[in-house]
Structure formats: C-alpha cells, structure tokens
Amino acid sequence: MSRQTSGGWVRVIGTGPGPERWMTPETSAILATATDLVGYAPYVARCPERAGQIRHASDNRVELDRANHALDLAGEGRRVAVVSGGDPGVFAMASAVMEALATGPVERRALDVTVHPGVSAMQAAAARLGAPLGGDFCAINLSDNLKPWAVVEKRLIAAAEAEFVIALYNPASKARPKQIFDAFAILRRVKRPETVVALARAVGRPDERVTLSTLAEADLTLVDMATCVVVGNSDTRLIDRGPEREPWVWSPRYVEG
C-alpha cells in the first residue's frame, strides 16, 4: 500500500519516435528532474544518462507491474518518469498507469500524476510523407497480445469501409511475423488494389527507410517492429516530384459530396 509523501510524483512521458530533437522540451525537463525512470528497456535506454538517476528498465509485457511500481515509488516520495516511445497515450504506458489507478487502492488517486504529450510515430511518418493523415484517419495496433485477432479483423474492415486512412502500429514482430500479411489480405478484399501504401520504418533514426507502394504490390517482408504502415483511402494520391525525389503523399481534407 502506498503512502503519500510530499514531493513524490509520476510523470507519464513519451520520448518521441527516435531522435532527441523530436522529444518535447517539457519531456526533457521532466527527465532532468526525475529521480527514477520506469519503462521498457529500449525506451529507457533512449533517455540521456544522468548521475544518480535510477533506471528501472523492464521487459515488454509487464506494463501493469511497471505502472504499479511507478506509483509505489511516487508514494515513497520519489520523482518518477514513466517512459514510453512516441506519445505516452498512443498504445503506451498512460493507459497502464490509468489501469493501475482504476484497479488499485483508491488512496493512490491522490498521488501527483500527470501525463505529457509526445510526438507519435504516425505524426513523424506523416510529416516525412507529406500529408497522408490530412483528412479523417485512425490508428490500429495490429498486436493481438492484448486483444483477440478477431477484433483486429473487425476494426480493419470497418475502417476500410468507412474510408479512414489507417496507421498500423506494431505491424509485425519476430513472434508475430504473419499478421501484417493477414491484415493486408483483409484490406485487399475491401479496398482498391491501387490504394497508396507507405511503409515508414524507423522514421527520424539513422536506419530510416520509407517505401511507397500500393495495396496490391507492397512488399510486406520489409515490415518489422520499427515500421508504421500507412494505408491511404480512395482520395489519397501521390504528387510527382520528378525522378530525383520521392513523390509526396496527400490525403485531401475535403471529400467530394
């Protein structure tokens, strides 16, 4: 059971999609004053080293434990940054912290907990591509670690039929190599083969690779855990920039009535 001791806090932050310049100044300031960092090891590793700061790096699938640990530490008076990649509210730790508050001891709700926005992967990918998310869009997490695959299928079909541009997060991993193929098989039943598809990998990092293609022809073997897959709607189009440059991707904000 945590006791509130003055001075303790939890700041739920996201480091952005990779490079430090895409981390907000507010997030940097929190990292500079936290006594403890709690998060998935690769995200904690991205934070600048600070003498005296304790790093509680953990494995990927223990989000609720991690959130509970952060709240316990804050109850002991520690200043705890809970670290995600991208934005902490997009398929990340803010939800786990809320779950810990919703399901844990009610006294903990008096703790000083705040959530701070970050740049999400789909925003970084969209900026590289042009304006693929300029109209209505949605984000779907393809991982079925936390929900049945049948739910993913249903949402893919609904999003495709409703003409949302779709940003797919967690499209593949070593443990789940097949799901992006299954997802595309579903999308191909609903959407036109020439639909614009962008495989935006490691955007902003040294190993960035952005590949433009179509729903019919996209090479899904290029998709990995560092990729955000953007699937256009039927208004999404390419703007040619000549042979030297990749075309821009544009989804108009208007829809012809």
The site for ligand SAH (CB under 6 A) is made up of 14, 17-18, 84-87, 90-92, 120-121, 124-125, 169-171, 200-205, 225-228
Q: Give whichever of 124 and 165 is closer to ligand SAH, judged by the CB atom.
A: 124
Helix 149-161 / helix 179-190 crossing angle, nearest 10 deg: 30
What's the min distance (Å) between Cβ of 17 and ligand SAH? Answer: 3
What's the min distance (Å) between Cβ of 166 and ligand SAH? Answer: 12
Q: Give whichever of 2 and 170 is closer to ligand SAH, judged by the CB atom.
A: 170
Distance of CA 89 to the CA centre of its chain: 8
- Point out the residue whose Cβ comes nearest to ligand SAH: 86
What's the min distance (Å) between Cβ of 212 and ligand SAH? Answer: 15
What's the min distance (Å) between Cβ of 171 and ligand SAH? Answer: 6
**How far is 19 from 21, CA to CA, in rounded Å?**
5
**How far is 230 from 220, CA to CA, in rounded Å?**
12
Q: Give whichever of 68 and 120 is closer to ligand SAH, judged by the CB atom.
A: 120
Q: Give whichever of 73 and 121 is closer to ligand SAH, judged by the CB atom.
A: 121
Encoding tokens for residue 204? 């902003």
Instruction: State the pairing for strand pair 130-131/79-84.
Output: unpaired
**How is residue 189 annotated by DSSP?**
H
Q: Give whichever of 75 and 210 is closer to ligand SAH, judged by the CB atom.
A: 210
What's the min distance (Å) between Cβ of 254 and ligand SAH? Answer: 28
Encoding tokens for residue 126? 């969209």
Q: Give whichever of 101 and 129 is closer to ligand SAH, judged by the CB atom.
A: 129
**How far is 41 from 224, CA to CA, in rounded Å?**
19
Encoding tokens for residue 175? 């443990």
CB burial of residue 147 (10 Å; 0-12, 13-18, 19+): exposed
Strand-pair partners of 115: 12
Contacts of 103 (CB under 8 A, 6+ apart): none
What's the min distance (Å) between Cβ of 190 and ligand SAH? Answer: 22
